[in-house]
């Protein structure tokens, strides 16, 4: 007897029953879809993904070529499985034999990194396919269906698609628990399946400092859980960035200061503020010490390294949850407060620090994201700063304030996926409307997207993937699809299939409700 | 950069290989989970060398070589104790150690039997120089002792293994320590069940309650009624348990001293049964015509009881355990009420309008059927709540409510003289943010007012993992180590284990041990390798003045294992850039 059965048995027939959506398993739903009844067969022997003649990308575009192979394998299984069918089967007239990919913009961006301004829109008709970026390959693979005998087919379809928001992110926290590279990569793969385009790498925090810095190797030597096994070497970081690039995903690193920095202090002497107990240092440390020049020298060197290691145009600088008690206890800081005429207002000291940090980072030609407290405390921000709203309760008010002040913003408050509860909580994430706040149209345009956050207190490689997916898929559709895509039943039907597709592709995405997948998870 | 799935190196010039073992942290000799009833250990320790380590049977032991359960267990535990050695990667030794023998003696030769409700699991373990003595009454007790011994062994620098001088006397507090898996709401591949059985043995659980069928699907392939799964399973070929699958689960469980308790829940929770067995379910009416939907099992037809008798006869021949779970929970009366034939039957039987009497009538018939098959029935508490005439040897299974209400239920059921099993506080499918294992740990199963005799009627407890939101993708991390909290409550002495904060570091260590077990047991048992078991190679191109040299660095899962990650790297390999090959095996 399961407790929810108490109500369910009252309405057995009303149990959420899976029904096919007219959009099949498309997720997130494209902006415009027309699926006709006309169906074409797909055969692994004859089907090819090719560059259209007019495409600005050619065979030298390794990004697309590897994507073609990846999606071919998703659609037909790995090439290994196909050895048996390696024949010269003549293609039938009803076969679909080619997907032409046409990159229409003059610059295919093949060798570049996806950026905030990358155009992810695409439009395609079957047979004649225009693609402006590679999102559409995912969509195409989702249109392929399989009948009982394993035969693949696809309906004639016209899709015109583009994302509603340009910043569609997922935050993973590799400080509270170390995440092996393999887990990060397989989640990047899954992000691509969900058209998520930003990996927000909350790489360090209080608990550990796994980032191996070239300039300050002692940070991870002293601050990581283990100096060899629990670190991200420059090679690891490069691998993550490249793996993400090949999937059209930006990697935005976060180095959160001045709070959340206990692990930094282990490898960098005098960086953190010594706390006092009465007139003596207590031996414990607080946030970054904002009154020393050495702090800023360190930050300048450190962020110079970061700005070269991470190619993205943005760095996340954190700035959240600064605890003032340690600063208050420290006589040198008290003196400094007096000199600067800050009175008793320690948020002014925080602003002082952040201001200097922002200037340092701005000099590296990077843009920055900051958590909402930085804005709340009135720090002077560059106009292109992205304010990251995370505090729940009145996040609509905050969105309203941030955009009224003219800053761009991303929303995370309703999407803290580390908070788990019993039942179908994906619906809660799905029902969020990011623009649901008071403001002008101009203000709404400043909302560039959102992020699902999976903080790491209770998450490591053992449970990360099923906890993230398909719950984050709900956020992915909210951020990609049109505002009016809100039919929760249709979403359930499509998401059920989408989740099974992820399972079939080897991703342990957890179930929505009692049900089955044709191909269950084999990784046990 | 490339990501490849097989090891192809075309680089001309490389030298390898670094194996670096790292030892972190200190081993706590109190690392045994669940905590034994009595344990004393000293700092004196003995090195163990896998090449000079033996399991033997004591000369007085009733079981000797050829005892399937123990022979298999020796193999299994050898790999668990020496994962590096068994996984075949160059185990490095720096000294030749003296041999160490674990001598196992059991009082009874029950090697070819199944564990049962009154199997003793008591054992004593004495570890001294060169020798450990493990004594138990039964092979099942010996299995528990082997598990404990394996948890006492730890590894230090350069991979050396040690065990401390230790004396243990141990026995379970409760005889029934179960885990329920639900294979109807989602189908669980056999592999997922076997993996769970492994993990159960690590936490000394001894009953696998297999909630095998329910409303959503009927995956059990019946010999007598093959249509039940042909029509009632999610898929008739891929989402079923064949007779062979079931036998495999039972024998895998037996080898680990775990009973398999099947549940065929009726008369409610049977929608999937109706698909393959016509006239089994009650046709619901809308006004004076059948609505086309069906309710619980139809209790008024003789054909129903004939079917059930045949089915349970089969079940009792397939499942050797002396218990069968008959369900009996959550019966919805609205369909019965709507059906004119059922109403006529009620009249005839003099039940008035009290449908609980009809339900009681049905359950009584089913319980009698299984009694005739020499099986003890377990039923959910609902049956007790509405019915007073159940046979005295029936076991009631409490699943509802907050502590106050299950404590009242414990009192009432034991007062009426029935044996009882507690599951209510361990509905582990209900998840929430934070360390909810603490709630499972602090349950006090005997905290109800009653006599000593009444308390003895509490035969144990069960962790339930209902399947609405659980399948093979998330079962394992959702179950472990949360279920282990309940395992200690059911095995260990409550006074010694009342402090949840003291349990925390032990459970943390045990979780890391579980990860180690999973990674190595996968290999040891030929189970497909999972993401836990990963080899990392990192190819680094180092540009020096004149030449390009290539280093292949390898990390592999040493005993200092997963919580400490599987990779070993030299951080100075920094000039890497062009070629990074990432392999997963």
Residues B288 and B422 in one domain: yes
Residue A321 annotated as catalytic: yes
Residues B109 and B204 in one domain: no
Q: What pLDDT score was predicted for residue A92? A: 59
Q: What pLDDT score was predicted for residue B300? A: 97
**Residue B68 counted as domain residue:** yes
- Mean pLDDT value of segment A4-18: 40
Domain C-terminal end among B508, B525, B542? B525
CB within 8 Å of B547: residues ≥ 6 apart: none
Contact A120, A163 (CB under 8 A): yes
Contact A453, A176 (CB under 8 A): no
Burial A210-235 (b: 16+ CB within 10 A, else e): bbbbeebbebbbbbbbbbbbbbbbbb
- Mean pLDDT value of segment B47-61: 94
Domain C-terminal end among B152, B170, B188? B170
Q: What pLDDT score was predicted for residue A91? A: 52
**Residue B2 counted as domain residue:** no
Question: Contact B567/A180, CB-based, under 8 Å?
Answer: yes
Q: In whole angstroms, what is the distance from residue A520 CA to residue B186 CA?
A: 10
Write out the DSSP string of A16-60.
Answer: ------TTTT-SSPPSEEEEEEEEEEE-TTT-EEEE-TT-S--TT
Residues B239 and B108 in one domain: no
Residues B201 and B56 in one domain: no
The domain made up of A167-505 has a fold known as TIM Barrel (3.20.20)
Residue A466 confidence (pLDDT) above 50: yes
Q: Tell me the CATH number at B311.
A: 3.20.20.80
Q: Please report, for residues A166, A192, A476, the alpha-carbon distance to residue A197 in angstroms, rounded to integers and kept in the order given.
A: 8, 7, 10
- Mean pLDDT value of segment A353-372: 95
CB within 8 Å of B40: residues ≥ 6 apart: B166, B167, B168
Chain B residues near residue A523 by CB distance under 8 angstroms: 472, 528, 530-531
- Tens digit of each residue's pLDDT (9 = 90 or more) over B384-396: 988 767 889 999 9
pLDDT averaged over every residue in chain A: 88
Domain C-terminal end among B138, B170, B202? B170
Residues B131 and B234 in one domain: no
- Tens digit of each residue's pLDDT (9 = 90 or more) over B149-208: 999 999 876 678 999 999 999 999 999 999 999 999 999 999 999 999 999 999 999 999
Q: In whole angstroms, what is the distance from residue A323 CA to residue A317 CA?
A: 17
Q: In whole angstroms, what is the distance from residue B230 CA to residue B236 CA?
A: 5
- Tens digit of each residue's pLDDT (9 = 90 or more) over B270-324: 999 999 999 999 999 999 999 999 999 999 999 999 999 999 999 999 999 999 9
Q: Give the whole-number percent of chain A exceeding pLDDT 90.
A: 68
Residues B396 and B430 in one domain: yes
Q: How far is B242 from chain A (nearest CA, A)?
A: 17
Residue B209: closest CA among B465, B443, B426: B465
- Tens digit of each residue's pLDDT (9 = 90 or more) over B495-505: 999 999 999 99
- Tens digit of each residue's pLDDT (9 = 90 or more) over B381-424: 999 988 767 889 999 999 998 999 999 999 999 999 999 999 99
Q: Give B451 or A50, the one with higher predicted confidence.
A: B451
Chain A residues near residue B566 by CB distance under 8 angstroms: 180, 229
Collapsing DSSP states into helix, strand and coil, what is residue B483? helix
- Tens digit of each residue's pLDDT (9 = 90 or more) over B537-585: 333 333 333 333 333 333 333 322 223 332 332 222 222 222 223 322 2
Q: How far is B465 from chain A (nearest CA, A)?
A: 9
- Mean pLDDT value of segment A9-33: 71
DSSP annotation of B529 reads: P
Q: Give the whole-number percent of chain B exceeding pLDDT 70.
A: 80
Strand partners, A160: A32, A123
Count of A-B CB contacts under 8 Å = 189
Chain A residues near residue B528 by CB distance under 8 angstroms: 522-524
Write out the DSSP string of A473-514.
Answer: HHHHHHHHS-TT---HHHHHHHHHHHHHHHHHTT--PPPSSS
CB within 8 Å of A43: residues ≥ 6 apart: A89, A91, A95, A97, A152
Question: Contact B22/A229, CB-based, under 8 Å?
Answer: yes
Question: Contact A515/B215, CB-based, under 8 Å?
Answer: no
CB within 8 Å of B243: residues ≥ 6 apart: B221, B223, B318
Residues B293 and B194 in one domain: yes
Measured between CA atoms, the residue of chain A closest to residue B380 is A1
Alpha carbon of residue B511 to chain centroid? 15
Pick among B216, B401, B473 to test the A interface (most A CBs inside 10 A)? B473
Residues B329 and B464 in one domain: yes
**Residue B6 counted as domain residue:** no
Residues B331 and B472 in one domain: yes
Residues B185 and B306 in one domain: yes
The domain made up of A32-78+92-161 has a fold known as Chitobiase; domain 2 (3.30.379)
* Residue A135's pLDDT band (cuts 50, 70, 90): low
Beta strands at A250-257 and A198-202: parallel, antiparallel or unpaired:
parallel
What residues make up the domain containing B388?
176-525
Question: Contact A235/B476, CB-based, under 8 Å?
Answer: no
Q: In whole angstroms, what is the distance from residue B569 CA to residue A496 CA?
A: 41
Q: Is A338 exposed, middle or buried (0-12, 13-18, 19+ CB in 10 A)?
A: exposed
Give me the torsion for CA of A387, A391, A394, A399, rounded to 10°: 10
Question: Contact B399/A419, CB-based, under 8 Å?
Answer: no
Q: What pLDDT score was predicted for residue B585? A: 23
Catalytic one of B44, B65, B330, B468: B330
Beta strands at A122-125 and A152-161: parallel, antiparallel or unpaired:
antiparallel
Collapsing DSSP states into helix, strand and coil, what is residue A250? strand
- Tens digit of each residue's pLDDT (9 = 90 or more) over B313-339: 999 999 999 999 999 999 999 999 999
- Tens digit of each residue's pLDDT (9 = 90 or more) over A201-254: 999 999 999 999 999 999 999 999 999 999 999 999 999 999 999 999 999 999
Q: How far is A413 from chain B (nearest CA, A)?
A: 16
Q: In whole angstroms, what is the distance from residue A137 CA to residue A147 CA?
A: 21
Alpha carbon of residue B532 to chain centroid? 19
* Residue A49's pLDDT band (cuts 50, 70, 90): confident
Q: What pLDDT score was predicted for residue B8? A: 32
* Residue A63's pLDDT band (cuts 50, 70, 90): confident
Phi, psi of B284 (to 5 degrees): -85, 150
Q: What pLDDT score was predicted for residue B283? A: 97
Residues B200 and B71 in one domain: no
Contact B477, B490 (CB under 8 A): no
Q: What pLDDT score was predicted for residue A148? A: 67
- Mean pLDDT value of segment B454-478: 97
Residue A7 confidence (pLDDT) above 50: no
Question: Contact B531/A10, CB-based, under 8 Å?
Answer: no
Contact B573, A233 (CB under 8 A): yes
Chain B residues near residue A238 by CB distance under 8 angstroms: 1, 576-577, 580
Catalytic one of A321, A338, A433, A457: A321
* Residue A42's pLDDT band (cuts 50, 70, 90): confident
Residue A189 confidence (pLDDT) above 90: yes
**Residue B577 counted as domain residue:** no
pTM comes to 0.86
Chain A residues near residue B3 by CB distance under 8 angstroms: 185, 243
**Residue B568 counted as domain residue:** no
Residues B163 and B182 in one domain: no
Domain boundaries, chain A: 32-78+92-161, 167-505
Question: How many domains does chain B divide into?
Answer: 2
Q: Tell me the CATH number at B101.
A: 3.30.379.10
């Amino acid at each position: 007897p399961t407790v929810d059965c108490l109500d369910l048995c009252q309405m057995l027939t009303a149990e959420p029953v899976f029904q096919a959506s007219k959009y099949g398993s498309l997720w997130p739903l494209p902006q415009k879809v027309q699926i006709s009844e006309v169906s074409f067969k797909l055969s692994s022997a004859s089907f090819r993904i090719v560059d259209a003649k007019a495409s600005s990308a050619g065979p030298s575009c390794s990004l697309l070529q590897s994507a073609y192979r990846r999606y071919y394998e998703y659609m037909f299984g790995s090439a290994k499985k196909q050895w048996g069918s390696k024949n010269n089967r003549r293609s039938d007239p009803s076969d679909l034999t080619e997907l032409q990919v046409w990159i229409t913009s003059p610059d295919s961006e093949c060798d570049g990194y996806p950026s905030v301004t990358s155009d992810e829109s695409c439009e395609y008709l079957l047979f004649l396919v225009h693609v402006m970026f590679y999102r559409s390959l995912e969509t195409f693979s989702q249109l392929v269906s399989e009948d009982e005998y394993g035969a693949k087919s696809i309906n004639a379809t016209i899709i015109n698609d583009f994302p509603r928001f340009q910043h569609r992110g997922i935050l993973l926290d590799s400080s509270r628990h170390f995440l092996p590279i393999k887990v990060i990569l397989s989640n990047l793969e899954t992000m691509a399946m969900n058209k998520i385009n930003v990996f927000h790498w909350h790489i360090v925090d209080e608990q550990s400092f796994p980032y191996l810095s070239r300039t300050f190797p002692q940070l991870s030597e002293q601050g990581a859980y283990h100096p060899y096994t629990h670190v991200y070497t420059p090679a690891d970081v490069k691998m993550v960035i490249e793996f993400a690039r090949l999937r059209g995903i930006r990697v935005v690193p976060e180095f959160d200061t001045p709070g959340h920095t206990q692990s930094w202090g282990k490898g960098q002497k005098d960086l953190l503020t010594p706390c006092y107990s009465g007139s003596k240092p207590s031996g414990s440390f607080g946030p970054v010490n904002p009154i020393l020049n050495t702090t800023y020298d360190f930050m300048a060197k450190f962020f110079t390294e970061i700005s070269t290691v991470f190619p993205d145009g943005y760095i996340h600088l954190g700035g959240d949850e600064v605890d003032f008690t340690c600063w208050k206890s420290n006589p040198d800081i008290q003196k400094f407060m007096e000199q600067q005429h800050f009175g008793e207002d320690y948020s002014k000291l925080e602003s002082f620090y952040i201001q200097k940090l922002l200037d340092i980072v701005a000099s590296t030609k990077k843009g920055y994201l900051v958590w909402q407290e930085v804005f709340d405390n009135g720090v002077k921000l560059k106009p292109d700063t992205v304010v990251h709203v995370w505090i729940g309760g009145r996040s609509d008010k905050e969105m309203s304030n941030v955009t009224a002040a003219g800053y761009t913003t991303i929303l995370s408050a309703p999407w803290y996926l580390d908070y788990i509860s019993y039942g179908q909580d994906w619906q809660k994430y799905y029902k969020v409307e990011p623009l649901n706040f008071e403001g002008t149209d101009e203000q709404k345009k400043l909302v560039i997207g959102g992020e699902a956050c999976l903080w790491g207190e209770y998450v490591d490689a053992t449970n990360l993937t099923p906890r993230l997916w398909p719950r984050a898929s709900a956020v992915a559709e909210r951020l990609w699809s049109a505002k009016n895509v809100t039919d929760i039943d249709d979403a359930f039907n499509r998401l059920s299939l989408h989740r099974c597709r992820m399972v079939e592709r080897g991703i342990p995405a957890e179930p929505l409700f009692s049900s089955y997948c044709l191909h269950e998870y084999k990784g046990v | 950069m490339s990501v490849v799935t097989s090891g192809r190196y075309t680089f001309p010039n490389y030298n390898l290989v670094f194996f670096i073992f790292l030892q972190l942290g200190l081993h706590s000799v109190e690392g045994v989970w669940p905590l034994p009833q009595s344990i004393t250990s000293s700092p004196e320790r003995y090195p163990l060398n896998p090449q000079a380590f033996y399991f033997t049977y004591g000369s007085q032991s009733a079981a000797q070589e050829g005892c399937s359960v123990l022979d298999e267990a020796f193999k299994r535990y050898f790999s668990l104790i020496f994962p590096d050695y068994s996984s075949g990667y160059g185990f490095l030794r720096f000294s030749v150690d003296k041999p160490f023998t674990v001598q196992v003696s059991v009082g009874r030769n029950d090697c070819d039997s199944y564990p049962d409700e009154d199997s003793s699991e008591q054992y004593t373990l004495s570890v001294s120089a060169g020798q450990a003595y493990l004594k138990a009454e039964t092979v099942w007790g010996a299995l528990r002792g082997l598990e404990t011994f394996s948890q006492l062994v730890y590894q230090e620098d350069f991979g050396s293994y040690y065990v401390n001088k230790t004396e243990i006397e141990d026995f379970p507090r409760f005889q029934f320590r179960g885990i329920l898996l639900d294979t109807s709401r989602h189908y669980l591949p056999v592999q997922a069940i076997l993996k769970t059985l492994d993990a159960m043995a690590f936490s000394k659980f001894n009953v696998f309650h297999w909630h095998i069928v329910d409303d959503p699907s009927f995956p059990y392939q019946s010999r007598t009624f093959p249509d039940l799964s042909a029509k009632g399973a999610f898929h008739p070929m891929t989402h079923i348990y064949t007779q062979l699958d079931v036998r495999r689960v039972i024998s895998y469980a037996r080898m680990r001293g775990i009973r398999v308790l099947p549940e065929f829940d009726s008369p409610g929770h049977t929608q999937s049964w109706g698909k393959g067995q016509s006239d089994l379910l009650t046709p619901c009416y809308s006004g004076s015509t059948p609505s086309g939907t069906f309710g619980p099992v139809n209790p008024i037809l003789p054909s129903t009881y004939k079917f059930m008798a045949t089915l349970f006869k089969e079940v009792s021949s397939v499942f050797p355990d002396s218990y069968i779970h008959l369900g009996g929970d959550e019966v919805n009366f609205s369909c019965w009420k709507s059906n004119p034939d059922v109403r006529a039957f009620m009249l005839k039987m003099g039940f008035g309008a009290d449908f609980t009497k009809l339900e009681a009538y049905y359950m009584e018939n089913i319980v009698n059927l299984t009694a005739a098959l020499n099986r003890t029935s377990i039923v959910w508490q609902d049956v007790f709540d509405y019915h007073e005439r159940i046979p005295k040897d029936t076991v009631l299974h409490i699943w509802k409510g907050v502590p106050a209400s299950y404590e009242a239920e414990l009192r009432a059921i034991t007062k009426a003289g029935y044996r009882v099993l507690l599951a209510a506080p361990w509905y582990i499918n209900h998840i929430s943010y934070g360390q909810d294992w603490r709630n499972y740990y602090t349950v006090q199963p005997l905290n109800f007012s009653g006599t000593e005799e009444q308390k003895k009627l509490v035969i144990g407890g069960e962790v339930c993992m209902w399947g609405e939101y659980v399948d093979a993708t998330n079962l394992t991390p959702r179950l472990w180590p949360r279920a282990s909290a309940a395992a200690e409550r059911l095995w260990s002495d409550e006074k010694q284990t009342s402090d949840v904060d003291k349990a925390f570091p032990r459970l943390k260590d045990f979780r890391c041990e579980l990860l180690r077990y999973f990674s190595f047991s996968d290999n040891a048992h030929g189970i497909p390798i999972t993401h836990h078991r990963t080899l990392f190679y990192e190819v680094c191109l180092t540009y020096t003045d004149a030449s390009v040299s290539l280093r292949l660095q390898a990390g592999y899962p040493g005993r200092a294992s997963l919580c400490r990650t599987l990779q070993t790297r030299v951080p100075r390999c920094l000039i890497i850039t062009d070629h990074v090959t990432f392999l997963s095996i």
